[in-house]
Chains A and B, each alone.
Chain A
Amino acid sequence: MKENDVILRTVTRVVVFIILTFGVELFLSGHHNPGGGFVGGLVLSSALVLLYVVFDIETVHQGVPFDFRKIAAFGAMLSLLSGTAAAVLGKPFLTQGFGYFDLPIFGLTELATVTIFEAGVALTVIGTVVTIILSISKDV
């Protein structure tokens, strides 16, 4: 059965970038505003899922040639290891640090180690969600 999904395809091409940008924005703003690694990761993965639904798996794989199982594993590893740095420095495991730095262009910016931890969360979410959805849809 061949459906006519020209409109969906055309809209998706544009919308995906909006969703992806929104996801990144959510991820970065999580420190002070609603958002964070989990939601950010979910939004990013929903953009990917949209791509997979509209185009077929092979086409998307050419553009996004990642092994999402590895991304999930890397993410879980990253959140785990990000806590080890504190342990090495003699603080309790998973202690987060932050500081304010004067960066060019950005001006006075807050940098926090929790971002690394949250990045791990986001990557795990992306990897897991895409892995689950891909394996179910491949099984058809």
Chain B
Amino acid sequence: MYAVFVIFLPFIMAALLPAMHRLIGDRLIGWYVMAVPLVLFATLVRLIPRIADGEVIDASYAWIPDAGIDLAVRVDGLGMIFALLITGVGTLVALYSIYYLSPRESLGHFYVYLLLFMGAMLGVVFSDNLMLLYTFWELTSISSFLLIAFWYHRKGSRYGAQKAMLITVMGGVSMLAGFLMLYFMTGTFSISEIIGMRDTLAGESMIIPAMFLILLGAFTKSVQFPFHIWLPDAMEAPTPVSAYLHSATMVKAGIYLVALFTPLFGGLEAWFWSLTIAGIVTLLWGAFNAMKQNDLKALLAYSTISQLGLIMSLLGFGSAALSADAAGNPTVYAAAGFAALFYLLNHSTFKGLLFMVIGIVDHEIGTRDIRRLGGLMSFMPVTFTFAVIGSFSMAGLPPFNGFLSKEMFFGAAVDIASGQPFAGGAEVLFPVVGWLASVFTFVYCTIIVYRTFLGPVQPEKIDRTPHEAPKGMLVAPGILAALVILIFFFPNVVGKYVIGPAMQVMFPVLSQEANLVPKIEAWHGVNLPLVMTFGVIALGLLLFITFRHWKRIYRVAPFRWTMDSIYRGVLQTGEAASTIVTDLYMTGRSRDYFAFIYLFFLVTVGGMLFLTGAFEPDFSRGPVGIFEISFVIIMAFAAIAMLFARSRITATLLNGVLGYSVAIFFVFFRAPDLALTQTVIETVTTVLFLLCFHFLPEWKPEDSPLRTKVVNGLIAIGAGTLVTAFGLTVQGYDVYASISSYFEDSYKLAGGSNIVNAILGDFRAFDTMLEVVVLFIAGIGVYTLIALKPKKGGDDVEGK
């Protein structure tokens, strides 16, 4: 129950929010929202001891049992880490938003989206069913889209939101394909059951394609190269959103997915190399690009990309522990997995902190462009302190938590370089590239601190007098800053109670044999990782001082040729191509559209009918009486007469004759429901037709060339013939056993003796329900097309 409550509380609160907003107003609504993650965080913290004992809390409710899709929820150590981040950082972000957002913004929308995201994200990390996971996964993409586009009047926001949506949903759909492959191999959607079948799955030939498809989902979400391009554009979102979704939680969903599937795919060579190479390339490319940014938020975006790459590569290193020949000591590799989770936690603290600091600068100064900033230290001493704590932690300096995890990364990279269980050779580059990226990291961390807070003030370039942020705004970053330092001094508490249980989930086989929780020590003597850290500081300082001289490197061709231009190119080409195709057949004349529809019908259905030799007319069903024949003659007469009608009203009435005659046929065949419906529909349609008269052009005799007339005539006759042939053929086939006997029990099963309505309202109520919804949508569509069309000279909706 706990877990289901945790997932659905944000959704319920989101549904109640509009009413609440009206009740308590703009000033208090933020506190209402903050209560949600706070309560959940407290609930989860109380579960930590139980989870740390290896307990797993799960619950399952039938959702779509026929398809094997259950509302299966599972709280284990791995999900717990992420859930603590989602609720913990969520609380702080909500608190920060209260002060950050002006009451003039549409707060209601913002907080509903935020709660939606929170629920969806908790759903992702607690789902134990692939389809459930997928649903929540896409819901996070959608809520992220809404939040990025929160200031939708800005072009950049709309562009960034669309880009994020396109890329992450593309990855999500590929992940869905991977999930379906897993389903066909195992016959279940349950994640814990699938992971339990690791040994049987290893021999399947589809396991590698499924793995790549799932990885694509993880890589797009967790901004791995080359899918990282959406994150910098997502920075158009309000800063609390960037801090929450785009650094602490949502972009880590991919990390979660990889960690979740490590027990299944870990040990596969393709898994190891995909993760490590994607991670290392992302790490370097992100760090390299972060240095050249002038916008502080863009800088942080690239640094997030880089650090997500680092975590991804650590997960790759760790997966080697599950290889069959893990070179004797799998715990050495598993330590990399531990480092990944530790880094993940630390990253959320220091990056969240930095985003909030940048948000404060932006909020108080009105810009976050480092070319206009400088010397803010004396005006904003508290913010400056926070910035130093966050940056130094990110750069990997003591006494901050980033130092510990960075050292562990160096250690893991060195271990992998000195031997890993797979064929290869690229592993010797890992420590070198990782070290180089850390140097870049050091450089951009220095840029954040130096260019913003030190150096000369440039009052002529900023619009406001700099001053410290209001106290309330400093609380959330203050808590994060305290955590950054606390984790440095008490890392083993976190290791034992939070990361340890997750390690048991990631490496279930090893956890019985060995202790997977290494002791974290700040001082471990002079060893290679420590030397590497000194190197980082030395070279980093050098590069920072000489930055102006080697900046030109960014103008060298290969670095200018970005993935962004490919993305734009693909979109533009796709749009242009689809315009060409669409223009080919969208002529604007309904006559052409009818011709297309009937031609398609003729070719596919008719072709199928004659190619398969299925055309066997059956005239044996019942005698054709004088009534039927006379009404056929009436209908034929009406249809032919319509061709020669001189006025539109005659044509309409003749069309009515056709419709009512069909109703009479329903009476003949003892289908009173159909006859009734057909009669009423015919009446209402005729009225509609009469109303539309005003808009229709004058009734003119056909003046198109003979060729068109002949072609259209042929299509019309062909379609009519085909429908007749089809009707006759269908009568002659009894391929499937009749299901009508089932419906004959309608009085017993549904309590109604009208079978038709028992089917509509009971047996197949789902179809009817959707039809009702479609009808409603059609009605609203007609209404909007007519009532809301732009007035002449009015604003274009697109705002071109």
Contact = CB atoms under 8 A, between A and B. Distances in A.
Interface stretch (B123-131, B501-509, B678-686): B678-686
Interface in A6-47: 26, 30-39, 42-43, 45-46
A114 B691 contact: no
B750 A135 contact: no
B750 A72 contact: no
Interface stretch (B580-588, B704-712, B779-787, B791-799): B779-787
A78 to B, nearest CB: 9
B772 A98 contact: no
Interface in B654-698: 672-673, 676-677, 680-681, 683-684, 687-688, 691-692, 694-695
Contacts of B687: 46, 49, 53, 133
B680 A42 contact: yes
B752 interface: yes
Contacts of A80: 769, 773
Given A36-B757, A124-B772, A43 B779 contact: no
Highest count of chain B CB atoms <10 Å: which of A34, A49, A83: A34
B304 to A, nearest CB: 40
Contact of A75 (B683, B760, B772, B783): B772
A36 B754 contact: yes
B673 to A, nearest CB: 5
Contacts of B765: 83, 94, 96, 114, 117
B761 A96 contact: yes
B684 A42 contact: yes
A2 interface: no
Contacts of A53: 687
Nearest to A123: B772
Contacts of B760: 36, 38
A132 B783 contact: yes
Interface string B751-773: 11110110011100110110011
A45 B684 contact: yes
B775 interface: yes
B778 interface: yes
A55 interface: no
Contacts of A96: 750, 761-762, 765
Contacts of A110: 751
B567 interface: no
Interface string A88-126: 001011101011000000000010101001101100110
Contacts of A139: 695, 786-787
B691 to A, nearest CB: 5
B593 interface: no
A37 B695 CA distance: 32
B269 to A, nearest CB: 45
A121 B761 CA distance: 10
Highest count of chain B CB atoms <10 Å: which of A73, A93, A139: A139
B684 to A, nearest CB: 5
B776 interface: yes
A64 interface: no
A138 B765 CA distance: 35
B776 A76 contact: yes
Given A30-B754, A132-B688, A35 B673 contact: yes
B42 to A, nearest CB: 28
A73 B691 contact: no
A90 B681 CA distance: 38
B680 A128 contact: no
Nearest to B786: A135
Contacts of A133: 687-688, 691
A131 B782 contact: yes
Contact of B782 (A43, A73, A135): A135
Interface in A41-80: 42-43, 45-46, 49, 53, 69, 72-73, 75-76, 79-80
A46 B761 CA distance: 23
Nearest to B694: A140
Interface in B718-750: 750
A32 B688 CA distance: 31
Nearest to A112: B751
A120 B772 contact: yes
Contacts of B761: 36-37, 96, 114, 117-118, 121
B754 A32 contact: yes
Given A94-B766, A132-B782, A79 B772 contact: yes
A125 B775 contact: yes
Contacts of A137: 691
Nearest to B672: A34
Nearest to B753: A32
A136 interface: yes
B776 A72 contact: yes
Contacts of B676: 26, 34-35, 39
Given A34-B676, A114-B750, A127 B776 contact: yes
Contacts of A140: 694
B446 to A, nearest CB: 57
A62 to B, nearest CB: 21
Contact of A76 (B62, B772, B786): B772
A31 B751 contact: yes
A98 B749 CA distance: 9
Nearest to B781: A132
B644 to A, nearest CB: 28
A42 B680 CA distance: 7
Contacts of B694: 140
Contacts of B752: 31-32, 98, 112, 114
Highest count of chain A CB atoms <10 Å: which of B695, B775, B787: B775
Contacts of A35: 673, 676, 754, 757
A125 B140 CA distance: 35
B769 A94 contact: yes
A49 B751 CA distance: 34
Given A42-B680, A96-B761, A121 B688 contact: no
B787 A138 contact: yes
A21 to B, nearest CB: 15
Contacts of B691: 133, 136-137
A95 to B, nearest CB: 8
A93 B63 CA distance: 9
Given A26-B676, A45-B684, A94-B765, A36 B776 contact: no
11 contacts: A34-B754, A34-B756, A36-B761, A37-B761, A38-B677, A38-B760, A42-B684, A75-B772, A75-B776, A96-B762, A110-B751
Given A42-B684, A114-B757, A132-B688, 5 more contacts: A33-B753, A72-B779, A79-B768, A90-B62, A140-B694
